[in-house]
A and B are shown apart, each in its own frame.
Chain A
């Protein structure tokens, strides 16, 4: 019968519809529904480990961790939230509206506790904990936070921690970094973030339709970050910081025998804990400060080395035999280079190499420089570690710059004049170096012939890195050259007319070189780069005062540092 056949076709069609519907749900939209099904029933409860500590060489904590307490609320019945918020508001003295908006902002799911207040005082945490008997929806969650027992001390070395920014996130996403991760910015915190950072662990739990816990699917214990030990000596660091006391500049102390940085002080500084406490006003103040307190001047800024550069001239002249120990130039207070008159800062009369270093005679070095030529000066500067990154552990090191005739020809299509050589000879002109580079250069004369690669990381996670880090590159100068320069550097201090004579009163024999760098605007930069004790140097010291006046001023700071170390018996 026709009707019956039609009817059976119709019924078969219904089954085909069912199969198509099934195909659509299971196969075509399967992935979407699988995701939905998972988000229905799986919740992650994270537990964070602690970030690794940053220690000084004696194991003192520079950046550690402290337990902070967060207040969380897990409402389970209507009305409970309001009661809990009222209680928290009363005890913490924070407005209920503020707590409520924090609750709304942080709310993820009804099955997870929601943070309403961060980093509360321990005393209040105890009160709230006791209050829990009455209001079980209040949860006090301890959480490790960065803590700086020494305040701003060594802040530029360690850097600070903050929520990851977009730029770092795109760079580090492949290494498992996520948004809202706390990562290091600047210094050791950034460079060694991979070792310092904790691995977040946690529970993945299954919940039922009411958000009630049914079973644990997996647990991954949180892993604490590894400790990083620095070569920094907090005692020396503090002496250096005190000596700098409010003057814009930097003080570096290094062990010339291996390149360990013992102190690296900068001013202006900042307290890294403002980033932990999220003090927004203070943070934006740091970024907008014209004195840029966040800059690590020892490696991130470069300055004209001025007279300190004369050490390069002296060794180049002696090495290339353009001058020798008996070479004498007369300083009448000026000299003519081409048609231009180049003056000295004083009238020195007849000077040999030792005296010229001691008195920082410009005329002697103009003449030496002209004998050497610009390219040779540049090459010897490179040999002594200038104009290239020193290979230091901390990030954002700048390489400085030493001009040369070749560079000028290739890049600027300009001729190199003798006047340029004369300018370069006294470390002026386009010449720029970082304080750390000059420290390393001075170490060559301290340790008699080896350019150290500076480092500040002593051990990571208990594994000593010193043998890997210690690299002394021989500069292959003749013994005579080194000894002559050393003698000159000693005379700077010991000679009655020496530019660093202020340091002669110290109980320890100091050698070094001052520098007064002329800048286009403001006071001159003051340099003192030296080492002590003279015979068996244990420390290289570099003092830079940005717009700090004549080199003498830097010598005063160096004196304070050495006095301080001496009085504490560190030398």
Chain B
């Protein structure tokens, strides 16, 4: 339907423009034209994202079914490149330096894994046309797909990007729940994942441990690991009901708030627009995600349905975790706010995902 296309486009564009305003407000006072022009780059990415959105929305998503293994392989390839370059350069990194921009494969890897899982769980039995996933045993239902998720997850966490890694895991579990895989398998997987957590603690990097401890009590280390959360809470809280007004946020514009244009852009926005602006923003995100779930619900094709669910879940989880992290309700894991945070990869990946979503709704009639 044209309707969902227009609605998603308008909502996404509105959020992205709010994002550009916030990025401008948080960087316009910084020294150097590189910083000051950052919002222009974001506008450029937004334009490219829109082109992708239009292209993808006209591109039959069923072809993704055929390409899903290839996409998955490609994502693994890029992740592995980041991983190996990290080893060669003796330092961690999350992106590949391409000609004129930094490409962050983990953003696309999330989408690739979702496409892969959607295909995996929507295979039908050859005798009757019921879904196979209901009949899956523990190996084919849980273990095998988990391996397929675990490989990119490991590479992403190793970057280190704990946020995106957890995102993959959460998306996987949510999709498991939404397919017909038996509940007891899911529960046992969760148990299996949670049981070794105390041991995994030792594998976390020191700063990751700090962040988790600080989440429990930010005042352990107010100038170190807790600093960001404290400043972010001050930024949001000091906005009050109506906010300090655009370009008048002291927390973000005097750089008390680190990462004010990327991961903590919600705090930047909230300081300037207050409770009313922030709740409006959250409402816009809610509308966007709701649109995704409505599309998923009315799609008959099981691949399209799962894909739509997967994309909506990915979006919802990222929005929730990022905003909760801004408010100090979730531990600080590096995770951008889709459509708002500065960053080309995130913007492109999100628009591509939205494009797929729109296309699912558009081609629904064909089947």
Among B96-104, B194-202, B248-256, the stretch that binds chain A is B248-256
Q: Is A106 an interface residue (CB 8 A)?
A: no
Residues of A within 8 A of B323 (CB): 18, 21
Cβ-defined partner of A209 (8 Å) among B233, B255, B324:
B255
Pair A33/B178 contact, Cβ less than 8 Å: no
Q: Is B80 an interface residue (CB 8 A)?
A: no
Residues of B within 8 A of A207 (CB): 254
Q: Is A32 an interface residue (CB 8 A)?
A: yes
Pair A33/B236 contact, Cβ less than 8 Å: yes
Among B121-129, B238-246, B346-354, the stretch that binds chain A is B238-246
Q: Is A340 an interface residue (CB 8 A)?
A: no
Cβ-defined partner of A34 (8 Å) among B174, B238, B278, B324:
B238
Return the CB mask of A476-488 against B: 1 if under 8 Å, else 0: 0000000000000
**How far in angstroms is the closest Cβ of chain A from B338?**
14
Pair B270/A26 contact, Cβ less than 8 Å: yes
Pair A36/B254 contact, Cβ less than 8 Å: no
Nearest to A41 among chain B residues (CB) is B250
Residues of B within 8 A of A508 (CB): none
Residues of A within 8 A of B92 (CB): none
Pair A26/B239 contact, Cβ less than 8 Å: yes
Q: Is B150 an interface residue (CB 8 A)?
A: no
**How far in angstroms is the closest Cβ of chain A from B35?**
14
Pair A7/B324 contact, Cβ less than 8 Å: no
Once A11-B316, A22-B275 are accepted as A-B contacts, the answer to whether A37 and B178 lie under 8 Å apart by CB is no
Return the CB mask of B79-122 against A: 1 if under 8 Å, else 0: 00000000000000000000000000000000000000000000
Q: Is A14 an interface residue (CB 8 A)?
A: yes
Pair B327/A206 contact, Cβ less than 8 Å: no
Residues of A within 8 A of B238 (CB): 30, 33-34, 36-38
Cβ-defined partner of B282 (8 Å) among A15, A30, A37, A38:
A15
Pair B174/A30 contact, Cβ less than 8 Å: no
> Which residues of A in the span 1-25 have a Cβ within 8 Å of any Cβ on B?
3-4, 7-8, 11-12, 14-15, 17-19, 21-23, 25
Pair A32/B329 contact, Cβ less than 8 Å: no
Cβ-defined partner of A8 (8 Å) among B241, B282, B293:
B293
Pair A26/B256 contact, Cβ less than 8 Å: no
Pair A37/B255 contact, Cβ less than 8 Å: no
**How far in angstroms is the closest Cβ of chain A from B263?**
16
Nearest to B257 among chain A residues (CB) is A209
Q: Is A29 an interface residue (CB 8 A)?
A: yes
Cβ-defined partner of A23 (8 Å) among B271, B275, B320:
B275
Q: Is B286 an interface residue (CB 8 A)?
A: yes
> Which residues of B in the span 319-339 have a Cβ within 8 Å of any Cβ on A?
320, 323-324, 327, 329
Docked pose: A29 CA to B234 CA in angstroms:
10
Q: Is A150 an interface residue (CB 8 A)?
A: no
Docked pose: A26 CA to B243 CA in angstroms:
9
Return the CB mask of A29-53 against B: 1 if under 8 Å, else 0: 1101110111011000000000000
Cβ-defined partner of A22 (8 Å) among B177, B235, B236, B316:
B236
Cβ-defined partner of B174 (8 Å) among A7, A19, A36, A206:
A7
Q: Is A325 an interface residue (CB 8 A)?
A: no
**How far in angstroms is the closest Cβ of chain B from A209?**
5
Cβ-defined partner of A27 (8 Å) among B241, B270, B320:
B241
Pair B255/A26 contact, Cβ less than 8 Å: no
Q: Is B289 an interface residue (CB 8 A)?
A: yes
Pair A37/B251 contact, Cβ less than 8 Å: yes
> Which residues of B in the span 270-292 have a Cβ within 8 Å of any Cβ on A?
270-271, 274-275, 278-279, 282, 285-286, 289
Nearest to B255 among chain A residues (CB) is A209
Q: Is B73 an interface residue (CB 8 A)?
A: no
Pair B234/A37 contact, Cβ less than 8 Å: yes
Nearest to B286 among chain A residues (CB) is A15
Pair B254/A26 contact, Cβ less than 8 Å: no
Pair B241/A17 contact, Cβ less than 8 Å: no
Cβ-defined partner of B256 (8 Å) among A21, A22, A30, A40:
A40
> Which residues of B in the span 5-51 have a Cβ within 8 Å of any Cβ on A?
none
Q: Is A214 an interface residue (CB 8 A)?
A: yes
**How far in angstroms is the closest Cβ of chain A from B343?**
22
Docked pose: A3 CA to B297 CA in angstroms:
12
Nearest to A40 among chain B residues (CB) is B256
Docked pose: A17 CA to B238 CA in angstroms:
20
Q: Is A208 an interface residue (CB 8 A)?
A: yes
**How far in angstroms is the closest Cβ of chain B from A395?**
46
Pair B234/A40 contact, Cβ less than 8 Å: yes
Docked pose: A41 CA to B177 CA in angstroms:
48
Residues of A within 8 A of B250 (CB): 37-38, 40-41, 206
Docked pose: A30 CA to B278 CA in angstroms:
14
Nearest to A42 among chain B residues (CB) is B250
Docked pose: A3 CA to B178 CA in angstroms:
6
Q: Is B58 an interface residue (CB 8 A)?
A: no
Docked pose: A11 CA to B250 CA in angstroms:
33
Residues of A within 8 A of B256 (CB): 40-41, 208-209
Once A18-B324, A26-B278 are accepted as A-B contacts, the answer to whether A33 and B237 lie under 8 Å apart by CB is yes
The 24 listed contacts between A and B (C-beta, < 8 Å) are A3-B178, A4-B297, A7-B178, A18-B327, A19-B279, A19-B282, A21-B327, A22-B270, A22-B282, A23-B275, A26-B241, A26-B274, A29-B237, A32-B237, A33-B238, A34-B237, A34-B238, A34-B240, A36-B237, A37-B234, A37-B238, A37-B271, A206-B250, A207-B254
* Given pairs A11-B313, A26-B236, 8 additional interface contacts (CB within 8 A): A17-B320, A17-B324, A22-B278, A27-B240, A30-B239, A37-B234, A38-B238, A40-B256
Interface of A toward B, CB cutoff 8 Å: 3-4, 7-8, 11-12, 14-15, 17-19, 21-23, 25-27, 29-30, 32-34, 36-38, 40-41, 206-209, 214
